[in-house]
Structure 1
Amino acid sequence: MAQILPLFVLLLLRLALLAMSTRDGIRIELAYIDSKSNFTTTELIRRAVDRSTVRTGRLLSQIASSHSSTDNVNSPVHVSTASYLMELAIGTPALNFTAIVDTGSDLIWTQCQPCVKCFPQPSPLYNPSKSSTFSKIQCNSTLCQALPRSSCSPDCKYLYTYGDGSSTQGYLATETFTFGSTSPVSVPGIGFGCGTQNIGTTDNSSGLVGLGRGPLSLVSQLGISKFSYCFTSFGDPTTSPLLLGSLANFSGAATKSTKFVKNPTADPMSSFYYLSLQGITVGKKLLSIPPSVFQLNQHGSGGLIIDSGTTITALEEMAFIPFMLAFRSQVNLSVADGSSLGLKLCFSVPAGLTAVEIPKVIFHFDGADMELPPENLMVEDPTARLLCLFMVGTRGMSIFGNFQQQNMHILYDLDKEVLKFEPTQCNKL
């Protein structure tokens, strides 16, 4: 009892500090991963397609591997394929670093000294021996047991591997993390992965911050009931706001909401945010898509997830093909070859043409219709004079990507288990 009481007091103190730190909410500015580059429009499109293709493939292979083995160590972490970066700091004194932000994963991790193998990063490596607030996590802790797979020798060690051969390996610890730049907020005791063997690349970042549904994610550890983001237009160099806690609020009359769908299986898929998509309308035509195409089955496959990291929406082929055919029939332009961009449906834009009529597209979610404006459907390559549908087909699961979410304030209400959304000029939020 003498040992348990101090631990209980420390837990209460940590919860009190967390409440004080987050009661006013936290605002974090997200930068699109290519926003500081000098890429042409063609290159930006190609890079976005390539990242989305790899990420979608990893998500699907992850589901397949989880069905084939109960001992797999694959995790919903997608290094170098996510789209947005956040600036934060770790330790005392605080060390600034950049991390990928990802609603499709849970673990928070960064590269650590002494590093056996690390990929190049833009900032100095975090050195736990130089921080007064660093502490290793015990093997019997809740966070250690939440890992897909862990080992003790004697620390709580983790290994996450990815479909392309990249990986992060290290041990779990707690640290003080500081979020935001204009009004920074420091939060003690956040559990994270201290990666000492990391293979791959993270596109000018030093790690990852997961916002998924699992206990290891930032939102779970902060104990917040809601968070939101609002992505600015594709190619816009301005940052996109991520709002945690009380700052995540809607006031407009155009707010709509749809319930999350829980995956019936265990980790790692239970970390994803699934939505119930019941149909799609193109123009005035409700597409003939079997209801089962978007349903999450009892084995944990199928369904549709909303994902901050995937740029391009990927629809199950049985929905994408009729969608593409209906869309093509309602655009009064000649079809062109979009293989150079990695896209399935493109149109030739004649010289001098200034306006193109694009059919209205509505995604019918459970209880809420989301109308996608033309700029959330099409992307233009001015060099090749192509206008392309920025969606692709896939098999096994559908993914609602961030291009289709741009200039839409998206709120995750974790208490009510609903997703709320309303059209917003994100660069003015």
Structure 2
Amino acid sequence: MVGGGGGVVVVRAVLLLLAAVAAAEALSLDVHHRYSAAVRRWAAAAAPPHGTAEYYAALAGHDGLRRRSLGVGGGGGGAEFAFADGNDTYRLNDFGFLHYAVVALGTPNVTFLVALDTGSDLFWVPCDCLKCAPLQSPNYGSLKFDVYSPAQSTTSRKVPCSSNLCDLQNACRSKSNSCPYSIQYLSDNTSSSGVLVEDVLYLTSDSAQSKIVTAPIMFGCGQVQTGSFLGSAAPNGLLGLGMDSKSVPSLLASKGLAANSFSMCFGDDGHGRINFGDTGSSDQKETPLNVYKQNPYYNITITGITVGSKSISTEFSAIVDSGTSFTALSDPMYTQITSSFDAQIRSSRNMLDSSMPFEFCYSVSANGIVHPNVSLTAKGGSIFPVNDPIITITDNAFNPVGYCLAIMKSEGVNLIGENFMSGLKVVFDRERMVLGWKNFNCYNFDESSRLPVNPSPSAVPPKPGLGPSSYTPEAAKGALPNGTQVNVMPSASSPLQPQSVFAAIVLLFLIVL
């Protein structure tokens, strides 16, 4: 509900109508690497200079935690949506290895900067806190966070223990009680617990005439957090993108808002997007998703590797993980691909820096950086191109001093990380159970139509420019209070200012980590 008094009924009817009309549109948002040029200007906290050994060591350090965590256990069409508070996600250096997006919940709305994780399912935010991360901290730079309270939202409802989405019914005194939740994550003694609630999540349709849509969504009222959630990762909530029925993509699909599919685009410069309801296109390559009940990740089978002139026949399964910076392989695959790469390099091998996490690094020769191409062959024969298998090491003046094959050695788990997805749009099609991909320019998404929702400029980074040459985000100005109401949609004559407000391109990628 937006507004008050006699206008409430009218606005409610309008919102219901918009929700019905938008049932076939998709959600999208920008994705940024935590050390990208744009994000480095957003966050006041210092980050290692891009391209330096410290930069890559920091990324790899987070990946190590990720591998240990994931190693345990095991034609387009339709509607697309994005979050109403903006279609951007942010890869923030001080908050671990995760991507973040701004979401608006409740009536009046409250904004949150939530981590996005394909490796977990439940969406939760800090709520009526008994033990949560601080709302502001020197570690956050200029960011200031908010908390959710069911009592402060007129559209909030409890999820009873009788709900089929309640996993802890045995902990309930009666079926009418609020359903509790408790999730123990697989690293750093990290957990979140509280009760399940339902409220409206504000989305916008990604269409020629964008519309604000309110989607009833279930999420966790996170009263107690432990471990990394108290500061270094997801201090303001987490949104899971996994396959379980409780994940945001699953909930949106079950309500008929979008197809049970989403895509993520990984730009060469760290910029990206995510679209909920995106089922891909006829020109994409595909491979089946492996379904393991005890290991429900986005897992595919690789049947071959090509490194320059060398073809390697092999077969192994790998998790496609947007939450990992660098690809990690276990033996024998790691040795096969790295030794083949090394045999075709003419430059001299050079460790470059003891903090570097990569074994195969080289000095820059007189001919510059020349290396063999790398590609993967997926089950079914489709080629998964690795557009940029190396990282270039620079000094503090950004002069290249060397380069490394950006693959890390793993134990027992294989991860196709973000660096192997650079330059690709990757489709996680959970209806057809396939992974799709194609080379794509993430800036091709249309951002011409935006609808403003009142954000809290003190709580989120400002929006980036619209292309690689225009990364000049403005600093957040003013201080709209948190919890302000959703604005009435502007008229056609009302100019939108995407640089000064967090507009909406419903990023239906609700891929709750």
TM interval, shorter chain, is 0.7 to 0.9
CA contact (8 A) 1:280 1:361 kept: yes
Output aligned runs, 1:387-402, within 5 Å: 387-402=403-418
Q: 1:120 to 1:20 in 2, by over 3 A?
A: farther
Return the match for 1:51 from 33, 44, 62.
62
Is residue 242 of structure 2 the alignment partner of residue 228 of structure 1?
Answer: no
CA–CA separation in structure 2 for the residues paired with 1:244 and 1:411: 10
Other-structure match for 1:414: 430
**How far 1:150 sits from its partner (Å)?**
7.1
Other-structure match for 1:194: 221
Pairs aligned (count): 373
Other-structure match for 1:24: 25
**How far 1:81 sits from its partner (Å)?**
4.1
CA–CA separation in structure 2 for the residues paired with 1:194 and 1:347: 50
Return the match for 2:334 from 320, 323, 326.
320
Greater shift in the superposed pair: 325-334 or 280-289 = 280-289
Q: 1:21 to 1:109 in 2, by over 3 A?
A: farther
What amino acid is the match of 2:304?
G
What amino acid is the match of 2:326?
I
CA–CA separation in structure 1 for the residues paired with 2:367 and 2:114: 40
Is residue 146 of structure 2 the alignment partner of residue 124 of structure 1?
Answer: yes
| Matched position secondary structure for 1:314 | strand
The TM-score, its normalising length taken from structure 1, stands at 0.80
**How far 1:408 sits from its partner (Å)?**
0.2
Other-structure match for 1:299: none
CA–CA separation in structure 1 for the residues paired with 2:328 and 2:426: 19
**How far 1:32 sits from its partner (Å)?**
2.6
CA–CA separation in structure 2 for the residues paired with 1:16 and 1:112: 30
CA contact (8 A) 2:391 2:404 kept: yes
Output aligned runs, 1:251-400, within 5 Å: 253=283, 255-263=284-292, 265-266=293-294, 269-270=295-296, 272-289=297-314, 291=315, 294=316, 303-337=317-351, 338-350=353-365, 353=366, 355-367=368-380, 368-373=382-387, 376-383=388-395, 385-400=401-416
CA–CA separation in structure 1 for the residues paired with 2:202 and 2:372: 45
CA-to-aligned-CA distance 1:112-137 (integer Å, 9 cap, x gap): 12x11111243211122110111111
| Matched position secondary structure for 2:421 | coil
Return the match for 2:241 from 211, 214, 233.
211
CA contact (8 A) 1:110 1:193 kept: yes
CA contact (8 A) 2:70 2:119 kept: no
CA contact (8 A) 1:26 1:185 kept: no
**How far 1:402 sits from its partner (Å)?**
1.2
**How far 1:181 sits from its partner (Å)?**
10
CA contact (8 A) 2:19 2:213 kept: no
The TM-score, its normalising length taken from structure 2, stands at 0.67
Is residue 117 of structure 2 the alignment partner of residue 89 of structure 1?
Answer: no
Q: 1:276 to 1:187 in 2, by over 3 A?
A: farther
Segments of structure 2 that go 5 or more residues without pairing to the other structure are 1-14, 41-45, 75-93, 136-143, 254-258, 446-513
For the aligned residue pairs, the C-alpha RMSD in angstroms reads 2.6
CA–CA separation in structure 1 for the residues paired with 2:276 and 2:302: 26
Return the match for 2:182 from 159, 173, 176.
159
Other-structure match for 1:99: 114
CA-to-aligned-CA distance 1:188-224 (integer Å, 9 cap, x gap): 3211111111123354751111111110111100012
| Matched position secondary structure for 1:88 | strand
**How far 1:19 sits from its partner (Å)?**
5.4
CA-to-aligned-CA distance 1:133-172 (integer Å, 9 cap, x gap): 1111111212113x7x973254321222232122211111
CA–CA separation in structure 1 for the residues paired with 2:303 and 2:440: 24
**How far 1:241 sits from its partner (Å)?**
1.5
CA–CA separation in structure 2 for the residues paired with 1:363 and 1:357: 20
What amino acid is the match of 1:136?
K
CA-to-aligned-CA distance 1:353-376 (integer Å, 9 cap, x gap): 463221121201012111212xx2
Segments of structure 1 that go 5 or more residues without pairing to the other structure are 1-13, 65-78, 295-302
Q: 1:168 to 1:354 in 2, by over 3 A?
A: farther
What amino acid is the match of 2:164?
T
CA–CA separation in structure 1 for the residues paired with 2:245 and 2:409: 32
